[in-house]
C-alpha cells in the first residue's frame, strides 16, 4: 500500500498535431458554415496532458430479513402453527448475481408452510355476492325494474296512424268527374287506430317477464360467489420468506488532485473516460495492520475507519476491496475569431466539454445580427433560415416556433395579397387559412380579409342581380300578396347566400349557391303558378279576362225564384251540354205515402192528420232532377216533392218513371260577377229551344230560369 504515497499529479505538453485534428472535428459539431470556419483563424495557445490518481474503497454487505406471506391452500397443506421467531435468517443459502454489485435474492422456507383459516369467508369457501348483495336477483336493466317498457309499435302513444288514409281520416275514390272524398272505413274517420300490441302504451318486459328483477349474472341466483382470498379452499397456505439485499458501500478518494479548472461533475455528464486501473486488493476483511505502511498518509484514518465494519444480527460483511486508478485528461486553450476558449477532452479524445463559453455563442450573436438585418430588408426567407440555425444553439434563448410561425404568417399574408391583386381569390383564401390565430388579429391580416370579403359580397350581389329578373318575370300580372311573398324569398336568398359565403369563403361556391337557390326558387314558383292556374293573377288581369269571357258568350237578364220576384240579376249563358230534360212522374194507380192534408207556413209545407199509403188517382209529376234520381239508385223509398204544389211525398223508387222533354235543352251558365268567374262556379239549367234560339238572335231578357 506504500505505493499510493508516491503518486503525483503530472502536466505535460500534448501532441499539438493530434489535438488540432480533434479540435477541428469539435468545431464541426456546431454545424458552422464552411466560410465561417475558414475565416475564424483557429490558433492553439496551449495543449496539456494531465494525470492524477484516485482509489475506490468498497465494503460488500448482505442484509437479511424474514416476512410472512399467504396464498390459497390449493396443495392441501395441513393446519398448524408456526412463528417467525422459530427460524434463523442465516440458516438458508442465498446468492448474489455478481460480487460488488447491488442485487437481491429470496428464499421460500418450505418447513414454515402451514394452513390457517380464511378470515374473509370464515372458512366457508364462499362470500356474499356483491352484485346482488346475496339476494340472487338484480334489478332488470331492460325496464329499470318497472316490469314493463314502452311499446315499440306505438312508441307509447296508444294510437297508431291509420295506414289506409295516412292519418287524414278521409281518402279519395273514383276518377275524373266521379272523384269524391269519403270517410276512411279502416279508422272510421279518426285518422288513427288503437295499438294491437298494448292497451296503455306499455308492454310487459320480455327480459324479466314483468317481474322487474332478473337472476344475478355473477352468482347465477345463488347469492354467493367463490371467496377471492382463498379461492374456495377455505384455508390459506401461510409461510415465511427470507429476503437478502446485497449492497456495495463505496467511497472515492483522490490521492492526487486534478489541476484547477477541471469539473468532475461536467466530466461525468459528458461521459468522460479518464480512468485506467492500476491494481486492486480484495480481502474478506481488512485489518488495521494492512495499512501500517501508510500511517503517515492523510488518508490513513479515513481508510481504516471505513473498513472497520461491525456485523450485526441482520447485516454481515461479505468482502472488502481497494482499487487504484490513474486518471488522464487533456486541457486545450485556443483562439477563434479573437476569442479565447478552454476545452477539456477525455483520455481517448472522444468526449469533451467547455469550461465557460463556447465558439457557438459568438456564432449565435452573428446569426442574430444577420436575422435582424434581413428582416429589415424584408428578406423573410433569409430571416427564417437564420432563425432556424440560431435555434440549434442555447447561448441565446429564443422561441423558434413562435418566431418561425410569425415569419411564415407574414409570408402567407404577402402571398395572399399577391393572389388578391391577380384575382386568384381561391388561392388567396387557401393561403390565408395557413395564418395562425395570433396573426389574424393584426391590421395587415384584417385589412386583406376585408378586401376579400368585399369581393365575395359584390360577386354574390352581381350573380343575384343577374338571376333575380327571371323570378320577377314570373311575378308579372300576379296577385300582390303572391308577388310580395316571392320578393321576400328572393331577398332572403340573397341574405342567406351572403351569410353562408362568410363561412365558406370560396368565390366559386359563392356563385354556385346563389344560382342554385334562385334556380330552385324559379322552379317551385313556376310549378305553383301552373297548379294554381288563374287563382293568383292580379285583379286587372281577372277583369280583362272576365270582360273577354262575357264577349265570347251571351249575357242576359233573368229573375230567380217562384211567384214573387226574389232576385233579379244577369247571367252568362256559356254553351248547351246537349242533354235533354227528363220529366219524372208517378204513374196512375201506384202507392205513395203522405199526410191526410198539408198547410203552408214559414216557407214550407207541414203535414196534418195520419201519415199513410194511398194510390195515385192520376199521374203525379215529381220535382226531381236526373242527378238526384241517379244518386237514389238502390234505395227502397225516395222522399220527393210534387212538381205542381211542392207537397212532400214518399214514393217507391221502382215506381218512378221519366220521359224525355224534347222541347228543352240543358245549358251551362255563370252569374254575372267577378267572384264566380275567379272561382269558376258554373251551374246548369234548362231552356226551351225557342228561348235558346231567341238568345242567339240577340234577346237579352229571360223571364224565368228553372
Residue-wise pLDDT tens digits, 440-466: 777 777 888 888 888 888 888 888 888
pLDDT band with cut points at 50, 70 and 90 for residue 152: confident
pLDDT digits (tens, 9 = 90+) for 556-597: 777 654 433 345 667 777 777 766 677 788 888 888 888 888
Given a cut of 80, whether residue 23 has pLDDT beyond it is yes
Burial class (CB in 10 A: 0-12, 13-18, 19+), 467: buried
- Candidate from 21-35, 48-62, 449-463, 575-589 with smallest mean pLDDT: 575-589
Characterize the bridge pairing of strands 235-254 and 604-615.
unpaired
C-alpha cell read off for 607: 203535414
Measure CA 236 to chain center.
53
What pLDDT sits at residue 375? 59
Cα Rg of the chain (Å, integer) = 58
The mean of the pLDDT values for the chain is 82
For residue 487, what are the contacts with CB-CB under 8 A and spacing of at least 6? 472, 475
What pLDDT sits at residue 452? 81
Q: Which residues pair with 686 in a beta bridge?
A: 666
Instruction: State the average pLDDT over residues 293-310.
Output: 89
- CA 553/CA 547 separation, integer angstroms: 10
Task: Compute the C-alpha angle 317/318/322, nearest 5°.
Answer: 90
What pLDDT sits at residue 677? 76
Residue of 71 and 443 predicted with greater confidence: 71
Do the Cβ atoms of 249 and 63 come closer than 8 Å? no
C-alpha cell read off for 480: 300582390
DSSP 79: B
Highest averaged pLDDT of the listed ranges 251-255, 294-298, 356-360, 568-572: 251-255
Given a cut of 90, whether residue 697 has pLDDT beyond it is no
For residue 452, what are the contacts with CB-CB under 8 A and spacing of at least 6? 420, 425, 428, 429, 432, 505
- CA 565/CA 705 separation, integer angstroms: 12
- Candidate from 159-163, 403-407, 426-430 with smallest mean pLDDT: 403-407
Residue of 252 and 379 predicted with greater confidence: 252
Do the Cβ atoms of 410 and 380 come closer than 8 Å? yes
Number of H helices, E strands in the chain: 15, 28
Do the Cβ atoms of 254 and 7 come closer than 8 Å? no
Q: Tell me what percent of the residues of the chain surpass a pLDDT of 90.
A: 24
Q: What pTM, to 2 d.p., does this model score?
A: 0.46
Residue 394: CA count within 13 A, CB half-sphere: 1
What pLDDT sits at residue 391? 59
Q: Which residues pair with 597 in a beta bridge?
A: 608
Do the Cβ atoms of 590 and 615 come closer than 8 Å? yes
What pLDDT sits at residue 363? 65
Residue 166: CA count within 13 A, CB half-sphere: 2
What pLDDT sits at residue 366? 63
What pLDDT sits at residue 444? 79
Residue length, the chain? 706
What pLDDT sits at residue 259? 78
Phi then psi dihedrals of residue 548, to 5 deg: -65, -40
pLDDT digits (tens, 9 = 90+) for 493-551: 888 888 877 777 777 777 788 888 888 888 888 888 777 766 677 777 777 887 887 78
Instruction: State the average pLDDT over residues 12-38.
Output: 84
DSSP alpha helix (H) spans, 85-195 = none
For residue 522, what are the contacts with CB-CB under 8 A and spacing of at least 6? 470, 471, 474
C-alpha cell read off for 230: 382463498
Dihedral angle sign, alpha carbons of residues 682, 686, 691, 694 = positive
Instruction: State the average pLDDT over residues 106-132.
Output: 92
Instruction: State the average pLDDT over residues 693-702.
Output: 67
DSSP 18: H
Given a cut of 80, whether residue 706 has pLDDT beyond it is no
What pLDDT sits at residue 118? 93
- CA 91/CA 246 separation, integer angstroms: 17
What pLDDT sits at residue 564? 36
Do the Cβ atoms of 434 and 412 come closer than 8 Å? yes
For residue 202, what are the contacts with CB-CB under 8 A and spacing of at least 6? 148, 149, 150, 151, 156
Nearest to 537 by CA among 674, 418, 633: 674
Given a cut of 60, whether residue 5 has pLDDT beyond it is yes
Nearest to 249 by CA among 57, 59, 55, 54: 59
CA distances (Å), origin 461, targets 165, 423, 451, 517: 47, 18, 15, 13
- CA 506/CA 453 separation, integer angstroms: 10
What pLDDT sits at residue 595? 82
What pLDDT sits at residue 404? 64
Helix (H, G, I), strand (E, B) or coil at 535: helix
Residue 155: CA count within 13 A, CB half-sphere: 2
What pLDDT sits at residue 705? 40
Longest pairwise C-alpha distance within the chain: 171
Do the Cβ atoms of 5 and 338 come closer than 8 Å? no
For residue 327, what are the contacts with CB-CB under 8 A and spacing of at least 6? 51, 52, 53, 54, 258, 274, 275, 276, 347
Given a cut of 80, whether residue 469 has pLDDT beyond it is yes
Highest averaged pLDDT of the listed ranges 141-145, 255-259, 620-624, 666-670: 141-145
What pLDDT sits at residue 81? 87
pLDDT band with cut points at 50, 70 and 90 for residue 704: very low
Residue of 670 and 392 predicted with greater confidence: 670
Residue of 374 and 328 predicted with greater confidence: 328
- How many C-beta neighbours within 10 Å does residue 703 have? 8
Instruction: State the average pLDDT over residues 244-267.
Output: 88
Residue of 14 and 262 predicted with greater confidence: 262
pLDDT band with cut points at 50, 70 and 90 for residue 555: confident
What pLDDT sits at residue 128? 94
pLDDT digits (tens, 9 = 90+) for 625-646: 777 777 777 777 777 777 667 7
C-alpha cell read off for 375: 428582416
Instruction: State the average pLDDT over residues 29-48.
Output: 83
DSSP alpha helix (H) spans, 254-323 = 264-269, 300-307
C-alpha cell read off for 293: 505502511
Amino acid at each position: 500500500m506504500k505505493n499510493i504515497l508516491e503518486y503525483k499529479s503530472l502536466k505535460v505538453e500534448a501532441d499539438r498535431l493530434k489535438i488540432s485534428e480533434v479540435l477541428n472535428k469539435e468545431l464541426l459539431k456546431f454545424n458552422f458554415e464552411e466560410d465561417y470556419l475558414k475565416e475564424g483563424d483557429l490558433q492553439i495557445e496551449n495543449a496539456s496532458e494531465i494525470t492524477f490518481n484516485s482509489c475506490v474503497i468498497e465494503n460488500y454487505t448482505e442484509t437479511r430479513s424474514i416476512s410472512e406471506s399467504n396464498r390459497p391452500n390449493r396443495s392441501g397443506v395441513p393446519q398448524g402453527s408456526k412463528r417467525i421467531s422459530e427460524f434463523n435468517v442465516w440458516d438458508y443459502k442465498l446468492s448474489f448475481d455478481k460480487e460488488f454489485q447491488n442485487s437481491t435474492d429470496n428464499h421460500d422456507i418450505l418447513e414454515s408452510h402451514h394452513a390457517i383459516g380464511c378470515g374473509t369467508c370464515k372458512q366457508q369457501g364462499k362470500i356474499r355476492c356483491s352484485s346482488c348483495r346475496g339476494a340472487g336477483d338484480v334489478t332488470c336493466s331492460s325496464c329499470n325494474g318497472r316490469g314493463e317498457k314502452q311499446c315499440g309499435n306505438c312508441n307509447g302513444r296508444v294510437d297508431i296512424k291509420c295506414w289506409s288514409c295516412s292519418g287524414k281520416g278521409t281518402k279519395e275514390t273514383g276518377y275524373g268527374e266521379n272523384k269524391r272524398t269519403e270517410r276512411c272505413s279502416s279508422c272510421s274517420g279518426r285518422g288513427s287506430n288503437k295499438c294491437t300490441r298494448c292497451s296503455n302504451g306499455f308492454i310487459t318486459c320480455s327480459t324479466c317477464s314483468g317481474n322487474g328483477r332478473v337472476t344475478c349474472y355473477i352468482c347465477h341466483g345463488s347469492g354467493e360467489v367463490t371467496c377471492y382470498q382463498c379461492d374456495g379452499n377455505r384455508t390459506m397456505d401461510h409461510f415465511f420468506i427470507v429476503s437478502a439485499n446485497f449492497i456495495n458501500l463505496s467511497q472515492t478518494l483522490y490521492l492526487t488532485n486534478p489541476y484547477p479548472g477541471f469539473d468532475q461533475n461536467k466530466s461525468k455528464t459528458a461521459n468522460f473516460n479518464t480512468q485506467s486501473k492500476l491494481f486492486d486488493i480484495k480481502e474478506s476483511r481488512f485489518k488495521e495492520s494492512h495499512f501500517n505502511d501508510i500511517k503517515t498518509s492523510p488518508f490513513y484514518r479515513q481508510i481504516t475507519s471505513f473498513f472497520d465494519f461491525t456485523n450485526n444480527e441482520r447485516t454481515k460483511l461479505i468482502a472488502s476491496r481497494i482499487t487504484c486508478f490513474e486518471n488522464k485528461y487533456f486541457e486545450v486553450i485556443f483562439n477563434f475569431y479573437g476569442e479565447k476558449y478552454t476545452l477539456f477532452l477525455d483520455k481517448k479524445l472522444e468526449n469533451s466539454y467547455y469550461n465557460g463559453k463556447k465558439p457557438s455563442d459568438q456564432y449565435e450573436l452573428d446569426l442574430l445580427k444577420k436575422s435582424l438585418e434581413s428582416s429589415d430588408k424584408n428578406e423573410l426567407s433569409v430571416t427564417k433560415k437564420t432563425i432556424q440555425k440560431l435555434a440549434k444553439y442555447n447561448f441565446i434563448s429564443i422561441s423558434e416556433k413562435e418566431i418561425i410561425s410569425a415569419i411564415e404568417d407574414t409570408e402567407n399574408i404577402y402571398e395572399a395579397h399577391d393572389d388578391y391583386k391577380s384575382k386568384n381569390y381561391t388561392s388567396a383564401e387557401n393561403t390565408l387559412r395557413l395564418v395562425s390565430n395570433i396573426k389574424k388579429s393584426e391590421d395587415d391580416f384584417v385589412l386583406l380579409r376585408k378586401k376579400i370579403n368585399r369581393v365575395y359580397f359584390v360577386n354574390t350581389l352581381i350573380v343575384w342581380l343577374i338571376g333575380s329578373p327571371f323570378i320577377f318575370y314570373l311575378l308579372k300580372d300576379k296577385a300582390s300578396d303572391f308577388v310580395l311573398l316571392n320578393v321576400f324569398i328572393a331577398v332572403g336568398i340573397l341574405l342567406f347566400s351572403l351569410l353562408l359565403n362568410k363561412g365558406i369563403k370560396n368565390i366559386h361556391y359563392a356563385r354556385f349557391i346563389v344560382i342554385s337557390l334562385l334556380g330552385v326558387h324559379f322552379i317551385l314558383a313556376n310549378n305553383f303558378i301552373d297548379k294554381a292556374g288563374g287563382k293568383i293573377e292580379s285583379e286587372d288581369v281577372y277583369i280583362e279576362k272576365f270582360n273577354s269571357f262575357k264577349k265570347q258568350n251571351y249575357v242576359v237578364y233573368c229573375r230567380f225564384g217562384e211567384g214573387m220576384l226574389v232576385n233579379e240579376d244577369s247571367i252568362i249563358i256559356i254553351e248547351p251540354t246537349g242533354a235533354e230534360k227528363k220529366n219524372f212522374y208517378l204513374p196512375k194507380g201506384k202507392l205513395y205515402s203522405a199526410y191526410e192534408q198539408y198547410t203552408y207556413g214559414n216557407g214550407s209545407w207541414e203535414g196534418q192528420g195520419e201519415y199513410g199509403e194511398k194510390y195515385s188517382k192520376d199521374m203525379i209529376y215529381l220535382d226531381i232532377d236526373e242527378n238526384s234520381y241517379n244518386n237514389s239508385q238502390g234505395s227502397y223509398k225516395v222522399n220527393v216533392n210534387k212538381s205542381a204544389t211542392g207537397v212532400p211525398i214518399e214514393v217507391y223508387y221502382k215506381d218512378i218513371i221519366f220521359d224525355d222533354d224534347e222541347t228543352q235543352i240543358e245549358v251551362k251558365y255563370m252569374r254575372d260577377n267577378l267572384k264566380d268567374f275567379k272561382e269558376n262556379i258554373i251551374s246548369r239549367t234548362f231552356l226551351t229551344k225557342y228561348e235558346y234560339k231567341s238568345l242567339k238572335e240577340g234577346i237579352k231578357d229571360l223571364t224565368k230560369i228553372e
